[in-house]
Structure 1
């Protein structure tokens, strides 16, 4: 046997053994892995990361130019908001995963190549079965070193079926990602609408707040001085100080609440904090509350992204059921390939082979009852979850409508309160005799007027937010299906058009959707000598603009003609303003008279204040006639 094996050892030349080298490399790798220790980030690395992120947050954004409309703010939020960008990336990721899942359905073409080495020869002998006698000397048909290569095409029917159902499930995962993107879009639109109107209210009123705050601070100092000098009794002086401090506190609270809205709006648009933006200050009337609740509920059940997501989840579970059933079927495997072996002892060193195989796991048939029970439980769970979510959606629609109705009513009350306080402030300013107590009372009424106007602006913003919640509860989409251009201006126009169209499907009962508001022009007739007519016009324009009445001197505008007369008797002296609202065809749409007591000194300040009070007394009628106000609602 030894002699027989001798020649076999010389069949191929000896090579350098690779096994010791592999053991040495493995040992070095193990030693290197054991020496790795945690290394914290350096401050330079953290600073570089922060600088890179800050630069990337605002890279490539279009500069803000001109007044920012609501649709402009929405366009910027959708284009640059980081949360929305993340959802877009998640949708893209889901689509790429679908592409990968689709590739799994293709047949497999495996290419393989390798090298084999051993330190001795493989071989064997033949032993008789009956007598156990060795009939052949040890021999080998394999070289110690040889190369292998093959390319095999195979197709597994069961794997194809499993891959097909997984691809269908992944396709619905793309749809789910799209619905989640829609939901994020709708939420961002709602947040932008809320922040925009609160920020616009702050923009309207903050300019008036600063000088008034300075006047209140000055009045506080004068009151303390008068109290210390004995001009005012201590109790009266302290009461005035308390009233002024309360007014200052309320003023600061309202101002801070409205100022934060601007920061929120900048964050939603992904604009650097502190950026100065000017919002487009155009009156937008509130729509009437929709009456066809059943129609809105039907729209909500059809459009809400959450319910559509549940539909896709149910379809994914349906494919999972089919996948489990398909896994019970027999598996058919087809394969064919070409092979090569560098072994010199082979008679044929290259060949083609193929085959077919059928296999089936019979024990898996025992899981059929469990699969059926699991699928039934999954379907019942899906139905129950969808029903519960549908009930929640219907409740949200009705709650949104009620909140909108209450918000409109609250705004109307706040609007009336603001007008009353503005008239009080005007009358107080007209009757001021420049004494300390008179000035303090005037400041207090002015502060209360500003606070109630802040409250009116806040109520209007709440009404607009409630309006947006109605749209959100129904599942209104903001963007059209296709947008040709993606610059901010084009997006803004597309959003404005799409939103107007979608809003009309919800608020179809109101006529204000297509009604245009008319602007106003103030005309003041003859006034007493020494009184500035221009100053009176300016003061009246100021209060009208503060109440969201558009001012313009075009021929199409309404005209508010104001005439002043003095009415005297034996004991009293009154001033009367006659107000006529005239349309472009010279028709008198409104005629009112406003009277008030006059002080001894009839000055520009006095008549301006009385003119403001007179104009405020007809503001509701002007807004109604000009189309800037909807009809009052009944008490909820």
Structure 2
């Protein structure tokens, strides 16, 4: 046929061009400039919505800032919002499919057909053109499938439970965040309180070390006594430097949690702390009941078990015979058609015979998933009960340690007063001054550390029980309003009852 080789060559060229286009894509590494620019842009975006910090920062303001501006918490909120969007989309899976389509057809020669005589086997000399070389076909149809409807229904129910799981994960992240902020705030407060004293005592110890080495070199005192003196000064220096290193990171950790500029110096308002044993006065059975009802991990496992049961029902639906219905309106521009417009409908009942063999295995698999989800829920419940008792005991231990550290600090304060009097009367050596100030700093640091442990233990118990602040949506509240809500919800144990869950 004329032109056939040319057409084949053209087809070969088109295929070769398509293949060459697919093989020319190579990895494109980001340049350092692009990474730097994106890093600056991301840093600006991270701090764009955060209100600047002015004046003294209280612990309630720090918690409010963390709840509103912490980047990891924003990710959790976006995951929750994404789960809600997926639920909205999954509702459409239960709707019938409405399909509009239009196509264009072209061929380079006529579609010609012949007829053969059934009795003689001879071809008819007549040749019939049954279709135009170019024509378009358009249709609008609706189809409905019984199995798709059932599977879509249970998929939507499962997605609704996944939304609730996302809520529980957000709650758990909030509990951990509040615990970290409370611990970091007290560490930063102790750093703010002790930094000046540590630096001045370090300078005093360094000077005492220099003086001792000078006295040793000039033979002004026994060399062994001088070395023992230096050993004691160096030991005090080691303790002071360890304290300084521990305190140096506290502000950075707190700034990262509340999404504040890392280089900004935070001025913290140290809150008044009073020892309270209200949490320990609540009956353990009451704590256990609250944890079983409100703990985020337990609630998540309940929803996972419900998803597993929905999976069993979905498997059953797939094993049923399928009923499908379709109806369409069609139009074709082919002039050889007598009826260019027509409506078409169909009803079909089908059944996959292999389901007779695979069905029992699929059901057993789904039932195994249910048993696994139930076992995980039981394991988490027992672990949570143990964690409730453990968190309560840790709080009791932390309170005892704080009371002991507070008593030691109070005693050291009284000793320091007597040593100051001796210093004023010039009856105290330089080594005694360094040792005394180092001891005072250590006792105050341990008091703050014990206080931070009390805060962490109390927050851990609240997280285990599922207790959280009674606040409205974080996005709807201003920072000042959110801070006021946190202040009002501080008396957790005094108003202890059924905790408010998922208040955001």
Check the 8 A contact 2:50/2:259 in 1, yes or no.
no
Check the 8 A contact 1:87/1:181 in 2, yes or no.
yes
Q: Which residue of structure 2 lines up, in the alignment, with residue 92 of structure 1?
A: 81
Distance 2:100 2:45 in 1: 44
**Does residue 46 of structure 2 align to residue 57 of structure 1?**
yes
Q: Which residue of structure 1 lines up, in the alignment, with residue 102 of structure 2?
A: 113
| TM-score normalised over the length of structure 2 | 0.91
Alignment of 1:453-492 (within 5 A): 453-482=444-473, 485-492=476-483
Check the 8 A contact 2:175/2:459 in 1, yes or no.
no
Q: Which residue of structure 2 lines up, in the alignment, with residue 290 of structure 1?
A: 280
Q: Which residue of structure 2 lines up, in the alignment, with residue 559 of structure 1?
A: none
Distance 2:132 2:474 in 1: 68
Match of 2:376 among 365, 380, 385: 385
Deviation at 1:21, TM superposition (A): 5.8
Check the 8 A contact 1:176/1:309 in 2, yes or no.
yes
Check the 8 A contact 2:68/2:474 in 1, yes or no.
no
- Deviation digits for residues 319-341 of structure 1 (CA, Å, limit 9, x no counterpart): 11111111122222222221111
Check the 8 A contact 1:84/1:184 in 2, yes or no.
yes
Q: Secondary structure at the match of 1:356?
A: strand
Match of 2:325 among 315, 331, 334: 334
Check the 8 A contact 1:186/1:478 in 2, yes or no.
no
Q: CA RMSD in A?
A: 2.5
Deviation at 1:499, TM superposition (A): 4.1
Q: Which residue of structure 1 lines up, in the alignment, with residue 305 of structure 2?
A: 314
Q: Secondary structure at the match of 2:113?
A: coil
**Does residue 154 of structure 2 align to residue 158 of structure 1?**
no
Distance 2:107 2:33 in 1: 54
Distance 1:40 1:484 in 2: 38
Distance 1:69 1:503 in 2: 22
Distance 2:188 2:136 in 1: 76
Change (3 A) 1:503 1:87: farther
Change (3 A) 1:380 1:503: farther
Distance 1:48 1:430 in 2: 60
**Does residue 349 of structure 2 align to residue 358 of structure 1?**
yes
Q: Which residue of structure 2 lines up, in the alignment, with residue 374 of structure 1?
A: 365
Deviation at 1:442, TM superposition (A): 2.9
Q: Which residue of structure 2 lines up, in the alignment, with residue 128 of structure 1?
A: 117
Greater shift, 91-100 or 432-441, is seen at: 432-441
Q: Which residue of structure 1 lines up, in the alignment, with residue 202 of structure 2?
A: 213
Q: Secondary structure at the match of 1:141?
A: strand
Q: Secondary structure at the match of 1:123?
A: strand
Alignment of 1:158-557 (within 5 A): 158-288=147-277, 289-291=279-281, 292-432=283-423, 438-482=429-473, 485-501=476-492, 504-505=495-496
- Structure 2 residue runs of 5 or longer lacking an equivalent are 500-504
Change (3 A) 1:143 1:82: same
Distance 2:349 2:8 in 1: 40
**Does residue 47 of structure 2 align to residue 69 of structure 1?**
no
- Deviation digits for residues 279-328 of structure 1 (CA, Å, limit 9, x no counterpart): 11221213215141111111111111111111111111111111111112
Distance 2:367 2:110 in 1: 62
The structure where helix makes up a greater share of residues is 2
| TM-score normalised over the length of structure 1 | 0.73
Q: Which residue of structure 2 lines up, in the alignment, with residue 545 of structure 1?
A: none
Distance 2:276 2:44 in 1: 42
Q: Secondary structure at the match of 1:290?
A: helix
Q: Which residue of structure 2 lines up, in the alignment, with residue 31 of structure 1?
A: 20
Answer with 1 or 2: which has the greater Rg.
Answer: 1
- Structure 1 residue runs of 5 or longer lacking an equivalent are 1-13, 509-636
Check the 8 A contact 1:332/1:358 in 2, yes or no.
yes
Say how many residue pairs are matched: 493
Q: Which residue of structure 1 lines up, in the alignment, with residue 33 of structure 2?
A: 44
